[in-house]
Amino acid sequence: MDSSPGFGVWELFWQSFDLFTVLLVLGSIVAVWIIVKCVLEIRPGTISSAKSTARIKSLIGQGNFGELRAFVERDRGLTAAVVREAIGQSARGRDAMREAAEVTASTECSRWFRKIEPLNVVGNLGPLVGLAGTVWGMILAFTTLGIEGGQAGPASLSIGISKALFHTLLGLMLAIPCLLVFGIYRQLVDKICTRAMADAARFIEQLPAEDTDAAPVEARKSA
């Protein structure tokens, strides 16, 4: 049985091993680490848990604002963070509370999106690095063909081209899972953050606030 060495995946991998292959392998290791980190950290319970939201709603409904303040100081969820900042600005009036809540919500959402953004970067760079490796491999293949005076056989030329194209394959194998996971988690983070911000906005409207602009008006009326 005749076998053609050098055409297996592993053979192509080792024969194509160069700087571009190293970069793609390192990118794959980084991508796996980021994906594992996303799986462990990005969950509804870590961004803004339903239990925390229910507790805030219950405390506001009971009018227990002292315990509410203590609870949001301990809780690390997005909803609690927004409510905590709004409570801190309650002495300045309702508008100040809303402004603080908007800034905090934007900051917290950006923090969660930054956790998955490296997947987008790696996923987009992977094919480019692979393409660069392919172009370099094609340059070497045709340079060899020119040195040999155009007398290189089809078999040797095809092996050189296949090794060059292998970089593109590695780049695509890196990009596809990265962009897939990035798309899934982007939708998840957007969904959870949007719900948390809606809950926080509703809670803030139920919190007591001192209207500092209304005080002089009331004083003039009483005078």
**DSSP at 138:** H
180 located within any domain? yes
In a domain? residue 195: yes
Each residue's pLDDT, cut to its tens digit, for the chain (223 residues) gives: 444 444 566 777 777 778 888 999 999 999 999 999 999 989 888 898 899 999 999 999 998 888 999 999 999 899 999 999 999 998 888 899 999 999 999 999 999 999 999 999 999 999 999 999 888 888 877 777 776 665 656 666 677 777 788 889 999 999 999 999 999 999 999 999 999 999 999 999 998 877 544 344 344 344 4
**Residue 8 falls inside a structural domain:** no
Dihedral-angle region of residue 93 (phi above 0 means left; psi in -120 to 50 means alpha; beta otherwise):
left
Place of tokens 């719900």: 195
**Residue 179 within any structural domain of the chain:** yes
Q: Is 153 left (phi over 0), alpha (psi -120 to 50) or beta?
A: beta
Around Cβ 180, how many Cβ atoms within 10 Å?
13
Q: Which pLDDT score is estimated for 161?
A: 78
**Runs of H (alpha helix) within the chain:** 9-15, 19-41, 44-48, 50-62, 65-74, 78-88, 94-147, 154-206, 214-222
Residue 89 — φ and ψ, nearest 5°?
-105, 10
Which pLDDT score is estimated for 142?
77
Domain assignment of residue 41, yes or no: yes
Task: Give the pLDDT confidence score for residue 156 in this predicted structure.
Answer: 61
Domain count for the chain, please give it: 1
Judge whether 142 lies within some domain.
yes
Tell me if 66 is assigned to some domain: yes
Give residue 139's pLDDT.
Answer: 82
pTM above 0.75, yes or no: yes
How many other C-beta atoms are found inside a 10 Å radius of the C-beta of residue 177?
A: 17
**Is 223 a domain residue?**
no
Q: Which range marks the domain in which residue 179 is found?
A: 16-209
Distance (Å, whole) CA 58 – CA 45:
18
- Side-chain-facing half-sphere of 195: CA atoms under 13 Å: 13
